[in-house]
Structures are given as structure tokens and as C-alpha cells.
Structure 1
Amino acid sequence: NTHNLGGGVVFPQQDAAAICAAARKAEVASYLDGARLFNAAAASGLSVAELARPFDLVSVALSKGLGCPVGSVLAGDKAGIARALRIRRMFGGAMRQSGILAAAGLYALDHNVARLAEDHANARLIAEQLAGVSGIRLDLATVQTNIVICRLEEGFPDALAIAARAKEASVLVSALGPRTVRAVTHLDVSREDCERAVERLVAIIRRG
């Protein structure tokens, strides 16, 4: 998977395999929260199956990079899925007439996986522009997928102020900390949108 707060960095597969092996040795099941698993696959060159293989149970979100309005998929062995279904019902998680959501999920899997590389390229575009601005600290090595995290040096407005001013300019970013700003690219923003957004964001930061 990718690290959200780490800027979308792909978790090393060899480390994931080692963790799962240690868990199995201790007779503990392993679970992968694969919220951005398809992004990790697109960035690493490994297939989703390869990334998921060491784990006993895997969830994949269809509503993030794949653009589905809602929904996730849970994968595992027959006994694990049966237990998960029972627990879901115990907590009131069952859904009725969910075929329309399943159809949206199938569309996302059929049409929106290959284009994830576009989101990654757009994030890189934003990161490269921000990295060249005085007062911003950004490690380009961490921009591997569709998340960009930068830090504002002292003497500049804090992250909440930058996010508020950016919103006024129709650019949505979030404040992760007092001086940390996060931007995320996705299928609803084009290359041109990202170019305009980073131009406005840079101008806002430079104004101070």
C-alpha cells in the first residue's frame, strides 16, 4: 500500500513480506488495508496480486484513486470472508439493493486502473513546481504516487491560512499540521487543472 501521511510513498514489499512471515510464525493473521493498493501497483510495477499475496486478508478501496462513489472489496480465504460477513452483519453493516454500487465498482476496475499513472504524473508536476519555491521544504523522492506533502518554513503563513486562501482561489489542499500542507491528485482533475492550481498555490505562498 502507500503511506498517506508519508506523502504517498509505497511501502517496501520486502518489508511487508517479512512482517507477514513474522506474524504467521506467531500464529497471528495479517491484514492489509489496501486503500491505495492500485496506486502502489502502478508506481512499483508489481501487480495487485503480488502486493497482496503475503497477507491473509486484504481490503481495497474503490472510492479513492479509482473514482467509485463508494465501496471497498475484501479478499481472503473462504473462512475469513465468511467470518467477516458475519461480523459485518453484527455491526449493522449489511446493505440491500447494492447492485448499482457494485456496477460502479466494476466500471472503476475496468476503466480507471490504467490511468492512475496520470494522477502520479500530475502530482509530480505539482511537487516539482512547489519544490522550487523559497520557503517550501519538499523531498521529491517521496512523491511516488498521487499525494504531495510540503512543509512551510517559519516566516510564512501557517498551513491553515494557506489552505483557506487556496480555497478562496478554488484550489483545495489540506493542513496536516501547523506548517504541513497536503495536495492529492485524482481523476477529476486534469493536467491543465493541476497546472493552474499549482500556479495559484505558489502565488499565495509567495505573497506570504
Structure 2
Amino acid sequence: MPRQQPAAQRPVRRRSYDQFCAAARALDQVGDRWTLLIVRELLGGPRRYTDLHADLPGVSTDVLASRLKDMEQGGLAVRRRLPPPASASVYELTGRGHGLLPVLAALADWGAPALAERRPTDAVRAHWFALPLLRALAALTQDGILEVRLDEGEFHVRTGSGAAPGSGGEPYGFGPADHADARITLDSALCLELVSGRVTLAEAVKDGRIEVTGEGALAAELRGA
């Protein structure tokens, strides 16, 4: 009886383009599928593994765990344990990980025209609108926390100098803010118009398509006072 041949081993996947090029080096770290979307989630603040899995529909548990491990090894993210009573482990971006904010913001600007029509299979989360909306809010000069209410849910963003890359805080957060300086209510269709530049923030507020609530300097600036 002929001896059975051992199964051929699958080649090890190369993890580097081996090119002395800044773009290639960057893609060595963040070019894998799902990595930049994990960064998108962590830009909003520390998150548990279960939260990441819930807000990354379509990713398998094995792939998510592998990408997070790669990000830890690459110095983009760290895992730490929250103090009691939470006693849960969370992942958060390092300074180098936060440095990807302008990259993701540019990708969001470039990809916004592809959002003209929502496909039946498309998942959606309210905070996914935060990145493309940041540019439309960049003209706001007052520092503060702005809560954004969409039909899909709520998120909050920093305005003024706190929104600038390298400011040290998360550019946006999940859900309603603990202490919002102002709130705006709009729908996702208008949000995409703002992102595309078809309408300005001031125009949408003036026309009543954006409802502004709150007192103080940020709310006054939004109302054009």
C-alpha cells in the first residue's frame, strides 16, 4: 500500500510589501481588511471586544482578534483593564493610532459620493457619520461638545480646538454626551448633503433643516448669533 503523502502546507502570508516606501510601510500596518475600520471605532474612545464586534457587522471573531493583536504588536493600540466596578478589558488607540485620524477623514471625504444610495444589505450606525461630518463642522470656532441626533441614533463630537488632530481627546464619542454644550437634530440625508458641500451648516440651520438646542457660546455660534 503506497505511503500517504503529507498534506501540502499553505504558504505563510507575507506581512510586508518589502518596499522602501512610506506608503508601502503604512499599508504593511493598516492595509489588512478591517484594520482601518477598527481604528474608526477606537477613535471614539476605549471599547470592549464585544462592543467592537457588535459595531463591525460581518467581521468574524477570529479575524477581529487577529487584527487587534496585530495592532497591539504594531503599536497602534493597547489593551488595558478598567478599574472596579467595571473590571472589563478595553482596547484603545495609542498616539500613533490616533495619528490615523486625518487618514480616515480623507478616506471618508473621498468615499462620501458613494453614499448616494443605501443598499438593502448595508448596516448603519449613527457614529459612522461622525468622520465625514467633522469637515462640515470644522468651521466652528467655539470649543465644546456637540451632540448630534440622527434617526439612526446619537453621537457627539468635539468642536473648535478640541477637534484638531493631536489635541489629545477623542474627536467623537458614542451615544449622547454626558454634558453637551449644544445639540443639533437632522436626518442622515441632510448629513450627506453637508458632507458633499451641497449645503453649508449655516444654510441648513437658517432654513430650519437643522434644529439647534442649548445655551451658551457654541449654540449661539450654530444659530449664527
Q: Same fold (TM over 0.5)?
A: no
Scaled by the length of structure 1, the TM-score of the pair is: 0.28
Bigger radius of gyration among the two: 2
Scaled by the length of structure 2, the TM-score of the pair is: 0.27
Identify, as 1 or 2, the structure richer in helix. Answer: 1
